[in-house]
Amino acid sequence: SKLRVGLLFGGRSGEHEVSISSARAIALALSAEQNASKYEILPFYIQKDGRWLAGEVPQQVLGSGIGHLESQNSTPEEQNHLVSNPQTQTINRWQSPSQVAEVDVWFPILHGPNGEDGTIQGLLTLMQVPFVGSGVLGSAMGMDKIAMKMAFEQAGLPQVKYKALTRAQIWSNPCVFPKLCDEIEETLGYPCFVKPANLGSSVGIAKVRSRQELEAALDNAAGYDRRIIVEAGVVAREVECAVLGNEPAQASVVGEITFDSDFYDYETKYTEGKADLVIPAAIPDAVSRQIQDMALQAFAAVDAAGLARVDFFYVEATGEILINEINTLPGFTATSMYPQLWAHSGISFPELVDRLIQLALERHSQ
Ligand code: ATP
Ligand code: MG
Ligand code: MG
Ligand code: MG
């Protein structure tokens, strides 16, 4: 009989629409000829208010244009602000539909908080059913940019200088705040990047060039997350490597992202034609090999499993390779970097999805 795959998508984060697009592509791949006889899809749609829906509605969301990025009337910034704003984050609306019990293996394709950060992974672990991707630790470490950077540091992976802050330091103490800003200016300088520690798709990230911009960006980032990171800005090419497997995992060819914008912000990521993927990246073989090696080290450093996309800065002038971050549930539409990197490494989209499910089963049985 067919294995029932619980495709879990949507979610309460600012990356809700991205998740729908990813889920759509995965559902298509599971229905492809080579997978259709093996798998049956049970879609579960998590609404923005946190409610889980099974059956008709998720099928419709997967099949229709709902969730298409341009068709949304509120921006992801607004949606995410609503979700993670401390004043509005009150009720836990988790309710499981009865179909949950029928799932043989879960495929959570949720991005950002409540999906990529270990919370869903904890729930699925308690349910004792296999699921695709990293467990609680790997997900949480991979989501929080501060914890992630500490793990990378321990693993000896080179990265930019950074400073970790909390919302309380930014909001609650008018005496501390100017000193914090002084310190950032002295140690990191301009331009620097202010980021909520637990987000993705560049939501809440600002590139700042002055004291005034720094203060505004810190205040804004504190609206998204309790934990905030400020990083020294680098001028570099942006290259990414996909990882697939448990232990040992394998690394894909390296790809580059090119764009004209100031940095790889939300608009550049999701507006058709604003960014190009160059696969394989036009970089020396030795650099590619080093990036692949670093990607596998990063994967192990945070205890990731199944899949991850690891992002790097390549400073061409000096040959320096700096790790930027790991994403344990990367964008998964047909045109996303993660499946594209594997396509260029000889693994088709349907085969990739099949492998990920098999890896979930393998990990569960160990
Ligand atoms: P993703 O969608 O990949 O999960 P994210 O929201 O986790 O992204 P980052 O990858 O940390 O965000 O940063 C987004 C983009 O901002 C980078 O791709 C890069 O263009 C720019 N950027 C971030 N940090 C730096 C830095 N320290 N120096 C230069 N550019 C940076
Ligand atoms: Mg990220
Ligand atoms: Mg991400
Ligand atoms: Mg990134």
pLDDT in tens, 85-134: 433 333 456 677 888 999 999 999 999 888 999 999 999 999 999 999 99
Residue 325 Cα, ligand 4 centroid: separation in angstroms? Answer: 6
Counting ligands in written order, the one closest to the CA of 205 is: 1
Give the mean model confidence (pLDDT) for residues 3-14.
93
Q: Rounded to the nearest whole angstrom, what is the distance from the C-alpha of residue 264 to the centroid of ligand 1? A: 6
State the average pLDDT over residues 320-336: 96
- The answer to whether residues 255 and 278 touch, using CB atoms and an 8 Å cutoff, is yes
Which fold does the domain 143-158+235-328 belong to in CATH? D-amino Acid Aminotransferase; Chain A, domain 1 (3.30.470)
Does pLDDT of 66 surpass 60? no
Confidence of residue 15 (pLDDT cuts 50, 70, 90): confident
Q: Which atom of ligand 1 lies at the shortest distance from residue 204's CA?
A: 6
- pLDDT tens by residue, 215-235: 999 999 999 999 999 999 999
Quick check: 75 pLDDT over 80?
no
Under 8 Å between Cβ of 111 and 22: yes
Ligand 1 midpoint to CA 239 (Å):
11
Q: Whose CA is nearest to atom 9 of ligand 1?
A: 202
3-state per-residue secondary structure call for 188-234: CCCCEEEEECCCCCCCCCEEECCHHHHHHHHHHHHCCCCEEEEEECC
- Provide the pLDDT for residue 94: 66
Fold of 162-232: Dna Ligase; domain 1 (3.30.1490)
Q: Is the pLDDT of residue 69 over 80?
A: no
- In the chain, the largest separation of any two C-alpha atoms, in whole Å, equals 65
- Residues 82 and 225: their CA atoms lie apart, in Å, by 12
- 82-86, 323-327, 337-341, range with the lowest pLDDT: 82-86
Nearest CA to ligand 1 atom 12: 202
Question: Rounded to whole angstroms, how far apart are CA atoms 129 and 123?
Answer: 10
User: CA-based angle 63:342:154, to the nearest 5?
Assistant: 110
Looking at all shown ligands, the one closest to residue 201's CA atom is 1
Q: For residues 260 and 273, what is the distance between their CA atoms, to the nearest angstrom? A: 11
For residue 257, the CA-to-ligand 1 centroid distance in Å is 12
Query: Quick one: pLDDT at residue 334?
Result: 87
pLDDT at position 92, please? 52
Residue 327 alpha carbon to ligand 3 centre in Å: 5
Neighbour tally for 201: CB within 10 Å: 22
Residue 215's CB: how many other CB atoms inside 10 A? 17
ipTM of model? 0.98
How is the chain split into domains, by residue range? 3-133, 143-158+235-328, 162-232
Percent of the chain with pLDDT over 90: 81
Q: Which of 193, 309, 326 to mutate to test the pocket of ligand 1 (most atoms within 8 A of CB)?
A: 193
Euclidean distance between CA atoms 31 and 7, whole angstroms = 13
Rounded Cα distance between 45 and 57, Å, is 8
Report the chain's mean pLDDT, rounded to a whole number. Answer: 91
From the CA of 264, which ligand is nearest? 1
pLDDT over 80 (residue 78): no
The one-character DSSP state at 323 is E
Taking CB atoms and a 6 Å cutoff, what residues make up the pocket around ligand 1? Answer: 160, 193, 195, 199-202, 205, 231, 233-234, 238, 263-264, 311, 324-325, 327
Which CATH class for the 3-133 domain? Answer: alpha beta
For residue 98, the model assigns a pLDDT of 85
pLDDT at 64: 67
Ion ligand 3, residues whose Cβ is below 5 A away: 200, 327
